[in-house]
Amino acid sequence: MADRDIFAEASYHFSAPAQASSPVNTFSDRSLWKLLRAIVHKPAGAIGVLFVLFHAIVVLTGPWIIPHDPLAQDPRTILAAPSWAHPFGTDLLGRDVLSRTIVGGRIAIAITAIGALLAVVGGAVAGITAAMRGGLLDAIMMRLVEAIGALPYLLFLLLLANFFTGGAYALIPALGIFYGTAVVRVSRAAALSVASSDFVAAARVRGERSSTILFREILPNVLGVIVVDGAIRWAGMLLGFSSLSFLGFGVAPPTPDWGLMISDARNVMAIAPWATLWPCAALASLILGVIFLADGAGKALGR
């Protein structure tokens, strides 16, 4: 688990102002299909789509494709090496690692997906509002965002996890708030660059209402940035949530969860590496997939 959140810095790729004078590419310019084709066209994007698609299929079909009950303990197969019966081996309580890995991402993905949505929507609204209003509100919000950004991310998450007690799902607001602050910064920067452009000025001169300017003029032009940034946040959140599970604050035993599986088996990593290797591989491939996909999407959208 990294000391600092590498994903917090990733936002700088997107915070550079887009071309201010002309409207930038937006989702409305191309159909989703065209966008997907553009993403797949880049090697990184293709890998991302492949990984994410693979995980999506596994998540959706998980309960039907697992070879064993992921909770079934068996004293006869404790830390058994990979075999035909248990292709990924077994863990400390003789449970099948393959089955546990297959269903071990479901809760993390569900929670972080909702958390990411919360972070993106909340962060975008806050960021664009700050950009449009400016003044004291903007200053206060941005100092707050910077203050949170200055805290070591795991420490801050642990603080929030202690506050929002009551199981894994109670962590959704904590994750949303923490990762949302980065979205505020990115969407504010993007909105600022668009807000100063001529077509927004024109809309103001026409006497359009603020909400119209927000939804008609600004949002379509910053949506691409926000969605790509949101995907990066999601990847970061997956790692953050798994770290919390690893530390005992996320999913409670015996529910299979990658972070918890890694934590449970790390003491025996040298003699039974499979019990930590597979959940690590699953988590890493999903995070990489999401990042590659976001990267591909960013490139396809011209950023």
Question: Which residues of the chain form contacts with other proteins (CB under 8 A)?
Answer: 71, 73, 75, 78-79, 92-94, 247-248, 252-254, 264, 266-272
Compute the distance between CA of residue 32 and CA of residue 106 in angstroms, rounded to an integer.
26
Please report where in the chains the tokens 């035993």 appear, as a residue: 253
**DSSP SS3 for 197:** coil
> What DSSP line would sit under 269-284, residue for residue?
TTT-THHHHHHHHHHH
* Among 228, 279, 275, 292, CA closest to 103: 279
* Among 109, 110, 106, 108, CA closest to 70: 106
Q: How far is the CB of 84 from other proteins (least distance, A)?
A: 23
| 66 in Cβ contact with 99 (< 8 Å) | yes
C-alpha distances in Å from residue 131, one per residue of 14, 137, 138, 203:
16, 9, 7, 16
Q: How far is the CB of 253 from other proteins (least distance, A)?
A: 5
- Closer residue to other proteins in complex, CB, 72/85: 72
Q: How far is the CB of 77 from other proteins (least distance, A)?
A: 10
Q: How far is the CB of 122 from other proteins (least distance, A)?
A: 30
Rg value, the chain, Cα: 22
Q: How far is the CB of 135 from other proteins (least distance, A)?
A: 44
Q: How many CB atoms are closer than 10 A to CB 212? A: 12
Q: How far is the CB of 264 from other proteins (least distance, A)?
A: 7
Q: How far is the CB of 74 from other proteins (least distance, A)?
A: 8
- Closer residue to other proteins in complex, CB, 74/208: 74
- Closer residue to other proteins in complex, CB, 190/251: 251
Phi then psi for residue 28, to 5 deg, are -70, -20
- Closer residue to other proteins in complex, CB, 79/203: 79
Compute the distance between CA of residue 13 and CA of residue 43 in angstroms, rounded to an integer.
19
Q: How far is the CB of 235 from other proteins (least distance, A)?
A: 26
- Closer residue to other proteins in complex, CB, 18/244: 244
- Closer residue to other proteins in complex, CB, 150/271: 271
- Closer residue to other proteins in complex, CB, 230/259: 259
Query: What letter represents residue 212's amino acid?
Result: T
| 185 in Cβ contact with 264 (< 8 Å) | no
Query: What letter represents residue 189's amino acid?
Result: A
Name, in order, each residue with C-beta under 8 angstroms of 112's C-beta and a sequence gap of 6 or more.
Answer: 175, 234, 237, 238, 241
- Closer residue to other proteins in complex, CB, 129/276: 276
